[in-house]
């Protein structure tokens, strides 16, 4: 009987744990999707360019196809005549082609998912995404490190993928003793309070007085 | 919105590479080859087909532009009915009050964006630098935001909470170097 109750409790526990894990996974997916950079300005500029250039080309081509003898797009006639004499090897043509390749690569890079806007926070609501600016995370960690007695200057770098946060602190003491551990402890406590979705590892570099 | 960007980028880079290759292969050949003019003169379908293709691209570009502009406008003015707008205003007021009562929270801004089909709530929470963000975030998710969703009658409303931290200007560290 006791074994049956324990088994049932274990099954319910597994079920609750599974549901919570599933919710956290969905929350993580939602946060990643929501906080992905939108590239609105790049997309808006590109859409405007595509519409303008393709529209002008369509109007010009239709005018030629219909045999109207008109060039509705200003400057099109001169440019089209110039292309009759301009060779592919001309430096201007090559520069334009190089610019096209570069612009294309920039657009392809912009289409990549990229890193999230800010540091996503941990949560279990699949329709809720929390985010903290990277700059604010650095500032709050620096604030925590500055609270350790003897620390006079702190710079925080990151978070970088694979590296995490790097805290560079200076103490006014000549003997570093366990100050680095105290700084690490203070920073890690503050990091837990910030509750990032993926807590970055913390590296502390301490410099002390040399005179 | 990334697929049109990638497609435009690929086409642009491909055309650029082709032009560079043509420049290497036959640098003296003019860009507007007379052979192309002759081909267009012989085949009457060529120019209208090219014009049709340009029209299709221009139409796709216009659609893309409209979607972008709509997204941009809806970020500031949600495309929702009047009743939802009124409910959202009441909900935002309550949400702001409840959030401000949480420890460390200094200010709260609430903005409903998107349309009724794809609504989004953007909540900006300004907190003191040492605030327990995990606690504030959990309390918002468990209480105030659930009530907001109930008020606007959108139970699955996606919410993005942006935290901003403010720090007191630090007092200057006493110079004790000489005493050590």
List the CATH number of the domain containing B95: 3.30.300.30
Total domains, chain B? 2
From A86, A101, A125, residue closest to B141, measured CB to CB:
A125
Question: Which residue of chain A comes nearest to B33, CA vs CA?
Answer: A84
**Which positions in chain B touch A91 (Cβ < 8 Å)?**
none
Any chain B CB within 8 A of the CB of A51? yes
Return the domain boundaries, chain A: 40-111, 133-207
Question: What pLDDT score does B174 carry?
Answer: 44
Residue B178 belongs to some domain of the structure? no
What strands, in cross-sheet order, belong to the sheet with B105-114?
A119-120, A128-132, B159-166, B119-128, B105-114
Instruction: Using the 3D structure, point to which of B23, B42, B76 is the last residue of a domain.
Output: B76
**Do B96 and B47 have their domain in common?**
no
Question: What pLDDT score does A13 carry?
Answer: 53
Question: What pLDDT score does A68 carry?
Answer: 82
Q: Is the pLDDT of residue A142 over 70?
A: yes
Among left, alpha and beta (phi > 0; psi -120 to 50; other), residue B175 is: beta
Instruction: Give the rounded percent of residues in chain B with a pLDDT score beyond 70.
Output: 93
- Compute φ and ψ for B158, nearest 5 degrees: -70, 135
Question: What pLDDT score does A8 carry?
Answer: 54
In this predicted model, which residue has the larger pLDDT, A206 or B169?
Answer: A206
Q: Is the pLDDT of residue A2 over 60?
A: no
Residue B41 belongs to some domain of the structure? yes
Assign 3-state DSSP to chain B and report helix, strand, coil percentages, each to 5. 60, 15, 25
Helix count and strand count (H, E) for chain A = 6, 5
From A42, A84, A172, residue closest to B180, measured CB to CB:
A172
CB-CB under 8 Å, B9 with A108 = yes
Question: What pLDDT score does A7 carry?
Answer: 52
Work out whether strand A128-132 and strand A164-171 pair parallel, antiparallel, or are unpaired.
Answer: unpaired
Question: What pLDDT score does B86 carry?
Answer: 93
Instruction: Give the rounded percent of residues in chain A with a pLDDT score beyond 70.
Output: 90
> Residues of B140-151 as b/e, b for ≥16 C-beta within 10 angstroms?
bbeebbeebbeb
**Which positions in chain A touch B64 (Cβ < 8 Å)?**
43, 47, 50-51
Question: What pLDDT score does A116 carry?
Answer: 86
Looking at the complex, report in whole angstroms how far the Cα of residue A211 sits from the nearest Cα belonging to chain B. 11
Q: What ipTM, to 2 d.p.? A: 0.77
**Which positions in chain A touch B121 (Cβ < 8 Å)?**
none
The C-alpha angle B177, B180, A202, rounded to 5 degrees, equals: 75
Report the range of poorest mean pLDDT among A65-74, A105-114, A152-161, B121-130.
A65-74
Mean residue pLDDT across chain B: 88
- Compute φ and ψ for B124, nearest 5 degrees: -105, 120
Q: Is the pLDDT of residue B180 over 60?
A: no
From A65, A110, A172, residue closest to B48, measured CB to CB:
A65
Question: What pLDDT score does A126 carry?
Answer: 87
Question: What pLDDT score does B93 carry?
Answer: 94
- Stretch A72-101: mean pLDDT, rounded? 90
In this predicted model, which residue has the larger pLDDT, A115 or B4?
Answer: B4
In this structure, how many other beta carbons lie within 10 angstroms of the beta carbon of residue A156?
22
- Stretch A67-78: mean pLDDT, rounded? 84
* CATH number, span A133-207: 3.30.70.1350
**Which positions in chain A touch B38 (Cβ < 8 Å)?**
none
Looking at the complex, report in whole angstroms how far the Cα of residue A6 sits from the nearest Cα belonging to chain B. 30
- What pLDDT band is residue A77 in, cutting at 50, 70 and 90? confident
CB-CB under 8 Å, B1 with A65 = no
DSSP type of residue B178: G
Report the range of poorest mean pLDDT among A25-29, A50-54, A206-210, B62-66.
A206-210
Pick the closest to residue B104 from B75, B133, B146 (CA basis): B133
**Do B38 and B12 have their domain in common?**
yes
What domain range includes position B70? Answer: 2-76
- What pLDDT band is residue B175 in, cutting at 50, 70 and 90? very low
């Amino acid at each position: 009987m006791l074994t049956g109750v324990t088994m049932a409790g274990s099954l319910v526990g597994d079920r609750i744990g599974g549901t919570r894990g599933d919710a956290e996974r969905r929350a993580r997916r939602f946060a990643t999707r929501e906080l992905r950079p939108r590239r609105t300005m790049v997309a808006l500029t590109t859409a405007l360019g595509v519409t303008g250039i393709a529209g002008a080309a369509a109007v010009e081509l239709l005018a030629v196809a219909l045999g109207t003898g008109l060039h509705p797009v200003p400057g099109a006639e001169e440019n089209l005549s110039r292309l009759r004499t301009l060779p592919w090897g001309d430096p201007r043509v090559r520069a334009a082609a190089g610019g096209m390749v570069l612009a294309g690569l920039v657009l392809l890079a912009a289409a990549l998912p990229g890193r999230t806007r800010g540091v996503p926070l941990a949560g279990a609501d699949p329709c809720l995404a929390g985010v903290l600016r990277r700059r604010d995370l650095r500032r709050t960690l620096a604030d925590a490190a500055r609270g350790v007695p003897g620390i006079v200057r702190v710079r925080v770098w990151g978070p970088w993928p694979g590296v995490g946060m790097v805290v560079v602190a200076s103490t006014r003491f000549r003997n570093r003793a366990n100050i680095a551990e105290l700084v690490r402890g203070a920073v890690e406590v503050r990091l837990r309070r910030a509750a990032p979705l993926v807590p970055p590892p913390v590296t502390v570099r301490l410099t002390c007085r040399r005179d | 919105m990334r697929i049109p960007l990638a497609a435009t980028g690929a086409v642009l880079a491909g055309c650029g590479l082709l032009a560079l290759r043509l420049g290497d292969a036959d640098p003296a050949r003019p860009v507007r080859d007379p052979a192309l003019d002759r081909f267009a003169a012989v085949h009457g379908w060529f120019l209208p087909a090219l014009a049709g293709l340009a029209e299709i691209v221009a139409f796709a570009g216009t659609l893309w532009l409209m979607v972008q502009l709509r997204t941009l406008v809806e970020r500031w003015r949600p495309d929702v009915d009047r009743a939802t707008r009124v409910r959202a205003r009441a909900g935002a007021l309550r949400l702001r009050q409840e959030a401000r009562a949480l420890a460390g929270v200094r200010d709260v801004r609430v903005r409903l964006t998107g349309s009724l089909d794809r609504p989004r709530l953007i909540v900006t929470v300004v907190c003191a630098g040492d605030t327990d963000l995990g606690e504030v975030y959990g309390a918002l998710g468990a209480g105030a935001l659930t009530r907001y969703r109930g008020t606007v009658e959108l139970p699955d409303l996606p919410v993005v909470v942006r935290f901003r931290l403010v720090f007191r200007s630090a007092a200057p560290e006493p110079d004790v170097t000489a005493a050590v």
